[in-house]
Structure 1
C-alpha cells in the first residue's frame, strides 16, 4: 500500500485541536506523512513539540523564511540565525529559504534575502541536509547562486510550490531538486502549470498541499493531496495510484527519516 506524502505544509500553523483532527480523526490523513516548511524560531519549536506527540509523522524543516526576514530587525535576525545553527541538526531539511522579489522590491531587501539564502546553503552543506526553496520572481538569480555553491547531496531538496517555466525547472532538476506542485494544479484555467507538468517526468515531481492557504484562518482539506494526484494522473495519463507511488518513492529518496 502506498503511503500518502504531503511534500510541503505547515502543521505548526494549526491549533492542537485541529492537529488532533488532522492526525488522528481524519481517515484521509491517518496514513499521511508531512514534510514541513520552516518559517521562524517560534515555528521551529512548534514543529519539535508536534513531532514529539506524533512521532514519525512529519519531517521537520528549519529555516528563516524570506517573509520572516523582512519582519525582523538586525538584532532579531542574528539572534534567530544563531538559534537556527544550534537547532538545525534536529531537522530533516533546511528551509524555507530563497529569494522572493514579490515581497522584496527594494535593493536592500533583496540583498538581505541574497545573504541569508547563501547562509542557508552553507548550513545545509555543513550538515548534509536537503533544502526547501521558496523562490518567487528570482529563478535566474537563485539558479546562479546554486551553481556557485555546489550542494553536498546528490538530491539537493525541494523547490516548493513551483510556478516557473520549463527551462528553469529543468535547471533545478539538473542541480538535484524535485519540483513540487501544489493546489494551483487544480485550477482548470491555469494552462501554464498544466502544460509545464505535462513536460516533466513524474520521477522529478512531488505534490504538496502548502496548507494552510490562509495562516490567519487555518483550514485543512484532508483530500487535497489525493485531488492533486488525481489531476496529475489525468495530465500524465497514469493512475492516481501510480502518481502516489512515485511521489512516495521520490520523497523517500531524500531519506528524511534516517
Structure 2
C-alpha cells in the first residue's frame, strides 16, 4: 500500500482520463492520495475530487509564483475551507525564485500570512521550494512553524536544511527526482533521513520518475520513488511502502 502525498489530479492534463489514472494508481497499490489546490481554479477541483473518493484528500493554499495575485478575500476563502472534512493541510505555499512573476518580498509576505492562517485553523502546511531553501527555512523558523509542522514537498535541498525542517516537526517528502541519475541531493537525503520522517509523492503531472522522465507523471508511478528509496536505504520495498504510508496517515490525521 502506498500514499501519494502530493498530486495534482486537478490539473488540466488529467481532464480526459482522470478516472482511468486513479484506477491505474489503485492497481499499482496506491491506496491514498492528497490532491493539492493552489489557486482559484485548482482549489475547487481538488475538493471535488476528494469528495468523490473515500481515500483521496485535499490540501488548499496559494502558490508562491502567483503570490502577487492573492487578495485578502482569497486568504479568507482558504481559511473558510479548512473546516471541510477532506481538507488535511494548508498549501502548497512557500517561495519560488526560479520564476519572476512575484517579487521575493511579496512571496514572503503571502507565505507568512498562510503560516499564520494554518496556526489559526490548526492544520499542517505543505511547502513549495524552488531555489529558495535557505530563505524558506529562515521564514519557517522566524514564524514558529513548528507549532503546526508540515511537509517539505518534493525536497531537493541539502541534508542539513532537511534536518532543520525535521526539528520543526516537518516531514521530508521525496518524489521523482530521487530516481534521476544526476540528482545527488535527493539521494543523499534519502540515505540520511530516518524512515520515520520520510514521505513519498509524485507531484504528478510533473517530475515523472526514471524511466518515465519527460512523460506526464501519474500517481501510479510513486511506486518507482518508493523502490528507489528502498534501494538507497538497503530496505525492502514493502518496508518503505508500509512506513511511508503509515507516516502519511498519521501526519494527515487519517484513521482509516
TM-score interval, normalised by the smaller of the two chains: 0.7 to 0.9
Change (3 A) 1:9 1:25: closer
* Residue 93 of structure 2 is aligned to residue 93 of structure 1: no
* Separation of aligned partners in 1, 2:50 and 2:186: 33
Aligned to 1:113: 107
What is the deviation of 1:10? 0.6
* Residue 117 of structure 2 is aligned to residue 123 of structure 1: yes
Change (3 A) 1:104 1:192: same
Partners of 1:185 and 1:231 within 8 A in 2: yes
Equivalent position to 2:99, from 103, 107, 124: 103
- Structure 1 window deviating more from structure 2 (231-240 vs 30-39): it is 30-39
Aligned to 2:202: 209
* Residue 174 of structure 2 is aligned to residue 181 of structure 1: yes
Equivalent position to 2:222, from 218, 222, 225: 225
Change (3 A) 1:109 1:47: same
Equivalent position to 1:197, from 190, 194, 214: 190
Gaps in structure 2 of 5+ consecutive residues:
208-213
Output the TM-score relative to the length of structure 1: 0.86
Aligned to 1:158: 151
Gaps in structure 1 of 5+ consecutive residues:
none
Q: Give the alignment of 1:61-80 within 5 angstroms.
A: 61-70=59-68, 72=69, 77-80=71-74
Partners of 2:65 and 2:107 within 8 A in 1: no
Runs of 4+ with >3 A deviation: 14-17, 24-27, 151-154, 217-223, 255-258
Q: Secondary structure at the match of 1:98?
A: strand
Aligned residues: 246
Output the TM-score relative to the length of structure 2: 0.87
Q: Secondary structure at the match of 1:34?
A: strand
* Separation of aligned partners in 2, 1:33 and 1:11: 13
Q: Secondary structure at the match of 1:36?
A: strand
Equivalent position to 1:254, from 243, 246, 251: 251
* Separation of aligned partners in 1, 2:58 and 2:109: 23
What is the deviation of 1:228? 1.0
More strand by share: 2
